[in-house]
Structures are given as C-alpha cells and as structure tokens.
Amino acid sequence: MRVVVPFAAERPKTRLDGVLSPAERVAFAQAMLADVLEALEEGGQTPEVLATAPFDATAVSGVSAGTGSVGSPEVPVRVDDRALTPAVNAVLEASEEPVAVVMADLALATPAALGELFAAEEGVVLAPGCGGGTNALLARHPDFRVDYHGTSFLDHCERARSIGARVGTVDSFRLATDIDEPTDLPEVLLHSENRAARWLRAAGFSLAVTDGRVSVRRGGE
C-alpha cells in the first residue's frame, strides 16, 4: 500500500493568518505534518509526502533536517506543483497497489485512528472531515479518483458508487478534525501532546474559556 500525505509547502494554512505570521504558519504546518507522519510510521505504514514545492523541514524543532525529509530521515518527498486534486489523481493513476491519502493537518491523528482506515476492507474507505471534507481515504479500487473541491465526502461516495466500489467510512473524531482555522486550535491543545501541540504552547497559546466556549489565547492577551 502507498500512503501519501499531501502538503502545501509554500503557503500553508492561510486561514490561520489572523493568528500566525507566514513563517509561523510554515512551522506549525510542518509540526502537524511531522505528527501525521509519525502516527503513520508508528502504525507500521511507510508514508511519502506529496509536496507542492521542495521545502526545508528545519523550521520544526524536533524534526530531523535533511534534503526534504521530515520526521524520520527515510520519509521521501515527491514534488508536484499542481493543485491537490490533479496531484493526488496522478498518484492514483500511476499506482498498481492500493493508495491511502492522509491530510497533513490531522494534528490529532493517532496510530489507532489511522489503523481503522487501513483495516477497512471496502473498495473505497473514507474518513469524513467536519464540514463535508475527506480527511483521509483508502482507495483499493483502481478506478477511484478524487475531487477535493466542495463537499468532497459526498462526491467521493458518489464517485465510488459510479465505479461499482463498496464504500466504507471511518467514524473518528481525530481524523475528522483538520486544523484549518483559529477555532480549530483548541482541539490541538485539548487532545494532543505531540509536536503541533508543543509548538502552540511554545508560541504562547493556551486554552481560554469564555461564555462556556473554548478558544485559544496567546501570551498575556
């Protein structure tokens, strides 16, 4: 099985621009990527990064430096500067084995949660994200292709049906929680102790509760 982790190397996490500088967004995104790769490796997988551009992983404390490597020195990085959908479809088209695609911003991912994805036996297995996205998928059927625009979860269900593939879903809060916006940051501090959580804490973020709702605050703000 190929396990691909797409990564927007150049301008990651633009929706966090209200709370993080461009350089901070790169560092935080790389911390999340490293957490995802580590969870995959701990689960016995051999992930590869599908990056929009070459990148220097030294921005993340605790991540091995190297020529494009992240986490353990063995993780290969393939560069494809196309948008997410055509880049992933190129991998699907070129692969003769099943392909898993796991988003790089699943900061809560654990080997156990990802294991549910890999253990499922359907032709197409989908882990929905909050808001109708597809945060992780496993395509065993050779004709499956992705379309990440809009409510991709529904589109992927429909596409699987159209090629006669059985669809499985993974019911995981950890896989459903992609970290895109400031309102997602509390989940990292609540449910992880890994690199992304440590990066946020080192950058001064902590949980704040106002009117019964949780958010993050930074430093003495």
Residues that bind a second copy (CB under 8 A): 110, 112-113, 128, 130-132, 149-151, 153-154, 171-177, 186-187, 190-191, 207, 209, 212-214
Torsional sign, CA 14, 49, 126, 85: positive
Q: Which is nearer to a second copy, 163 or 190 (CB)?
A: 190
Q: Please classify residue 166 by burial: count the beta carbons closer than 10 Å to its beta carbon, then call 0-12 exposed, 13-18 middle and 19+ buried.
A: middle
How far apart are CB 65 and a second copy at their closest, in Å? 33
Q: Which is nearer to a second copy, 144 or 153 (CB)?
A: 153
Q: What is the CA radius of gyration of the chain?
A: 17
Tell me 4's DSSP state: E
How far apart are CB 212 and a second copy at their closest, in Å? 6
Q: Which is nearer to a second copy, 54 or 86 (CB)?
A: 86
Within a 10 A sphere around the Cβ of 175, how many other Cβ atoms? 24
Q: Which is nearer to a second copy, 112 or 202 (CB)?
A: 112
Distance of CA 176 to the CA centre of its chain: 10
How far apart are CB 150 and a second copy at their closest, in Å? 4
How far apart are CB 131 and a second copy at their closest, in Å? 5
DSSP E strands in 67-133: the ranges are 77-79, 99-102, 124-128
